A = this chain, B = another copy of it.
Amino acid sequence: MSSDSPVNFNSQGSKNENDPNDNKNNVNNESFDQLINNHAYNIHDYATEFKLPEKITLGRYIFERLKQLNVTTIFGVPGDFNLTLLDKVNEVKGLRWAGNANELNASYAADGYSRIKRMGCLVTTFGVGELSAINGVAGAYAEHVGLVHIVGVPSLRSQSNHLLLHHSLGNGDFHVFEKMSKDITKSTIVLHDLNHSPGAIDEAFREAFLSQRPVYIAIPTDLVDLTLPSTYLNKKLDLSLPLNDTEAEAEFINNVFNLVKKCENPIILVDACCSRHSCVSLTRQFSDLTKFPTFVTPMGKGSVDETNPRFSGVYVGKYSPDYVKNIVESADLIFSIGSLLSDFNTGAFTYSYKTKNLVEFHSDYCKIKHAFYTNLRMEHVLKRLVTKENSSKMLEILKEKDYYSKNTTIPPYITPKLDTKKNDKELTHSFLWDHLSLILREKDIIITETGTSSFGILQTRFPSQCIGISQILYGSIGYTVGACLGASMAIEEVEPERRVLLFIGDGSLQLTVQEISTMIKWNLNPYLFVLNNRGYTIERLIHGKTEKYNDVENWDYLSILKTFNGNVEKKYETKRIATVEDFKELAKDKDFAKNDKIRLIEVILDKDDAPTNLVHQATETAATNSGTSK
């Protein structure tokens, strides 16, 4: 078989010419270049085009810039130090104020929004507001999510008088809260005069966008209404990635070719920062070009189309399925793209490659074996790897070594089936996650909460072009309710027909449940699957299996949508499923499949049941905690 028509790894063994990933609308697959390719960003004379007055306020400047960044929903909670700032959101055509139930939820929502659109924005008030949101901002920092946290703070005059204002610590110290945000953001700034503000804001936005980390901007109330020429907005925000050193890049690529020449079983392993740093599309091109088996980590799940014939499964160290473990660990060349090696992402640090030939692609450096190439950015490198010239070279090398006649066989993907006989057995995690793809559809956004859901989903095969959202590294329970709101608002802005499905345990839901109210307010139609196992099952597995501290109060989950719906009667649907038969009916229900209303589905599961990989991981965590593990 020649390299011109290489073997495909899909179950049918046929070539998949119409790769579904070609769809340009697959938002989180876009490169940075594509993302900022929106009208508001590229228009030459922004001020004239959007009919701005000659002078605009500094507050408005911030939000016009966010619009240029394609951030058109602003999350947060009003507070007396940010109210005049919120007026400015309303002034910007095309922007909306989400109005969250609380600040932590707002930060989670901005994070979820950013995971779809690569940038999110959160507005809080001094002290009480910003500190309530700080855990969500820290999560965005840990997980590489671009975010702007804007805080309305007391006027410069109050600050210089050291007034003991409400929302302060009562000691006249107005800097303490900014200080607390320093370690969980890429940078913090407190605006202090009009002249320096536009430049400082632009620079902060650039940093958040390129580093995919949060930045913190405090704006005193008396600066909000100061004015500047609207033509300042005509100066294009510089969002370009710094260029790579051409020689270093050439050397790196040359070394890659040399490694490919010598290898027999190369693979590609895709992790979190691939999608965060917008390399999903380039990674696909590289995978398509080489036809190397392509794996994802838990945090990378969704970054590789799972109907793509190269997709070969999820690698979680020793907790991987056997065939995945065998292929990855016997590979003699690994292309690792955007790795983030946390415990839950690596099967408790149980990666055990045999090879030393590891090629790492990161957002701000690359690495081959032990050699660091500092400031070599993966987006540029990947782009260069798939140029016409380098593509030909790669194919030539692979042809020469007759790679495609010898390559590894990946077991065919078997679509789960449901038997037609009535089956009243209770639902189990094992069944649920194995068969969930029967409920999923192309282009779904699948959000899984830390716990049984984030582990369970690893055994579910995604349909084409799905996006996965989960907070595997930071793992703040309750995160996904906010993230579900944020992702729903983001996808509504770009591809409103796409469905959003949330899978969350009862324990986690209780932390942030009120944000469902904001979903109802905005007429969003997510599917909220509430896995009711009467508590924190992930904790039960780690420690305290029968302890009451791992139980939560059992709510009447089916009445939640009614409670938050108030006296405005919006459409909603609630269901409870407890058996295989219930699941089968849901999978067959065509009305249910249509996201025309918000739905809450309570899924009854045994309190000790859990996905197998979670059981393994929990045992390991318990050992690490007690100090008995390595």
Residues of A within 8 A of B (CB): 77-81, 83-84, 86-87, 89-90, 97, 99, 101-104, 127-128, 131-132, 134-135, 138-139, 141-143, 154-158, 163-170, 173, 176, 179-180, 183-184, 221-222, 225, 340-344, 349, 450, 472-478, 510-514, 517-518, 520-521, 536, 538-539, 542-544, 547-556, 559-560, 562-568, 621, 624-627
Contacts and interface: CB of A to CB of B under 8 A. Distances in A.
B560 A556 contact: no
B547 A624 contact: no
A542 to B, nearest CB: 5
B549 A555 contact: no
A176 B183 contact: yes
A517 B521 contact: no
B142 A138 contact: no
Contacts of A478: 102
Contacts of A155: 624-627
B131 A132 contact: no
A138 B564 CA distance: 30
Given A158-B624, A225-B626, A166 B134 contact: no
Given A83-B539, A128-B474, A128-B475, 14 more contacts: A80-B538, A80-B543, A80-B621, A104-B104, A132-B476, A154-B625, A163-B349, A164-B341, A165-B342, A169-B184, A222-B625, A520-B553, A554-B566, A555-B564
Nearest to A77: B511
Contact of A627 (B184, B222, B568): B222
Contacts of A568: 554
Given A127-B138, A134-B131, A142-B168, A221 B625 contact: yes
A165 B539 contact: no
A343 B163 CA distance: 8
Nearest to A509: B514
A544 B624 contact: no
A472 to B, nearest CB: 7
Contact of A164 (B81, B103, B342, B553): B342
Contact of A180 (B180, B552, B553): B180
A142 B170 contact: yes
12 contacts: A104-B132, A128-B476, A128-B477, A134-B135, A157-B627, A166-B474, A511-B514, A513-B514, A555-B564, A555-B566, A556-B566, A563-B563
A550 B78 contact: yes
Contacts of A562: 556, 559, 563
A80 B176 contact: no
B627 A156 contact: yes
B511 A101 contact: yes
A539 B78 contact: yes
Nearest to A565: B556
B564 A170 contact: no
Given A102-B511, A132-B135, A134-B134, A221 B626 contact: yes
Contacts of A520: 553
A390 B567 CA distance: 64
B132 A548 contact: no
Contacts of A536: 78
Contacts of A472: 166
Contacts of A80: 538-539, 542-543, 621, 625
A554 B567 contact: yes
Contact of A170 (B78, B163, B340): B340
Nearest to A176: B183
Contacts of A518: 553
In the complex, which of the residues A83, A183, A511, A521 has the most CB atoms of chain B within 10 Å of its own CB atom?
A83
A452 to B, nearest CB: 14
B554 A563 contact: no
B87 A547 contact: yes
A135 B141 CA distance: 19
Given A135-B128, A514-B514, A343 B166 contact: yes
A506 to B, nearest CB: 10
Nearest to A74: B549
A137 to B, nearest CB: 9
B84 A626 contact: yes
B169 A179 contact: no
A130 to B, nearest CB: 8
Contacts of A548: 97, 99
For the complex of A and B, list the 3 residue pairs with the smallest distance between their C-beta atoms, beginning with the closest: A222-B627, A554-B566, A131-B135
B131 A549 contact: no
Contacts of A539: 78-80, 83
Contacts of A564: 553, 555-556
A68 to B, nearest CB: 22
Nearest to A169: B142
A476 B166 CA distance: 9
Contact of A544 (B77, B78, B127, B510): B78
Contacts of A86: 544, 547, 549
